[in-house]
Chain A
Amino acid sequence: MNGERDGLLVRRVLGGDTDAYAGLVARYRDRLGRYAVRMLGNEADAEEALQDTFVRGYRSLARCTDPDRFGAWMFGILVNRCRTHGAKRARRERLLVHDEGAMSGASVAHSEDRDAWREEIARALERLAPDQREAFLLKHVEELSYDEMHDLTGVSVSALKMRVLRAREELRRLLAETYT
């Protein structure tokens, strides 16, 4: 099973070999997980979205029109799952009190510590509007073209460009505050 192309594994699953799907899950778990963690901000939520994504992928596997591009197809499902998950979480979090003071200004300024930097980025990402965060991640981390992003999300290229622009401005603003 190791080393078999995605297309072969997909066809085996469709032929009835359910266990072959485990190979696809193992292959894409970390790759998709990276987007989910960045988008949702924590591993617990990311794992939930990932599990949901993989199960849905199995369920609608026959609709994957190009089995050799299974990964890209799954990624589309994941992006949507993260959106739904984000909407659920936003609703719940309205019930919690956000302590704005605790969130900003508690950083480690001027530090070269890699972990602190990661922490700052994560916090800054969290403060972006979801659609900006999504656009930023798709463009700068997943390195999709705007056309690919449009195919994935259905949003117009001009709107996507605007979201990426705003995301960059906001990230600069948030991170510059910390590091000057």
Chain B
Amino acid sequence: MNEHDELIARVAETLKEPVRIDPRLDARVMAEIEAGRTAVPPTRRVLDWLTQARTIRLSPLGGLAIAAGVIVLLWTGTQLRAPSPAAEPSLAAAATLTTTVQFVLIAPDAQSVSVVGDFNDWDVSATMLREDQAPGVWAVTVPLSPGRYRYSFLVDGTTWLTDPLAAQAVADEFGRPNSVVTIGES
């Protein structure tokens, strides 16, 4: 082994030395999981939904399809509909078209659900979802102008939940992840 390889070998040996991470990380991970910000593994979701779970869980399309007696509302957390005209303050143009977006959350034990985001000044009670279609199926439609909007669901005024089927924002600087919906100009 020539001296160049020896240097790299020494570097590698040093880097292989064990690293000790603060064990309090474990508690933080479990706390984040328990806070319900993350979805339960799919096999549990259906069970919880059917048997009155203690805590709120996000339920994806998969869970809906299996559970009986539920009107399958629609397929994802967000959906685009036909555009309707509306005015919006913007630097560039005067009036722009809006697109109607539907937000859906399955939360059988919730007393109240709101969607909170860039489009309603992060006002926690401005846009409440309603259980019109079926118990536990919360929905609301919102007209949105073109742009990219960060948002999150708030359940019972206390628990922040991301939309499991929407894209996530790249960076969350406030300690809670966001979902993102993008509306194009076309």
B15 touches A171 (CB 8 A): no
Task: Decide yes or no whether B96 CB sits under 8 A from chain A.
Answer: no
Task: Decide yes or no whether B89 CB sits under 8 A from chain A.
Answer: no
Cα of A58 to Cα of B58 in the assembled complex, Å = 14
Count contacts on A: residues with CB < 8 A to the other chain. Answer: 43
Cα of A177 to Cα of B130 in the assembled complex, Å = 67
Also in contact, A34 and B25, with CB within 8 A (given A14-B41, A15-B43, A21-B33): no
Kindly specify which of B4-12, B71-79, B121-129, B140-148 makes contact with the partner chain.
B4-12
User: Which residues of B are found within 8 Å of A34, using beta-carbon distances?
Assistant: 16, 18-19
User: Which residues of B are found within 8 Å of A88, using beta-carbon distances?
Assistant: 170-171
A30 touches B18 (CB 8 A): yes
B34 touches A18 (CB 8 A): yes
User: Which residues of A are found within 8 Å of B40, using beta-carbon distances?
Assistant: 18
Also in contact, A47 and B7, with CB within 8 A (given A18-B34, A58-B38): no
B8 touches A168 (CB 8 A): yes
Task: Decide yes or no whether A38 CB sits under 8 A from chain B.
Answer: yes
Task: Decide yes or no whether A84 CB sits under 8 A from chain B.
Answer: yes
Secondary structure type dominating chain A contacts: helix
**A43 in complex: contacting residue of B7, B21, B32, B171, CB < 8 Å:** B21
Nearest CB of A to B180, in Å:
15
Interface range on chain B: under 10, 10 to 19, 20 to 34, or 35 or more? Answer: 20 to 34
Q: Report the nearest A residue to B5, measured CB to CB.
A: A168
Q: Report the nearest B residue to A22, measured CB to CB.
A: B30
User: Which residues of A are found within 8 Å of B44, using beta-carbon distances?
Assistant: 14-16
Task: Decide yes or no whether A175 CB sits under 8 A from chain B.
Answer: yes
Interface hub of B8, B22, B29, B38 (most chain A Cβ within 10 A):
B29
Task: Decide yes or no whether A172 CB sits under 8 A from chain B.
Answer: yes
Those 6 A-B pairs whose CB atoms lie nearest each other, nearest first: A33-B21, A34-B19, A140-B12, A59-B38, A54-B29, A62-B41
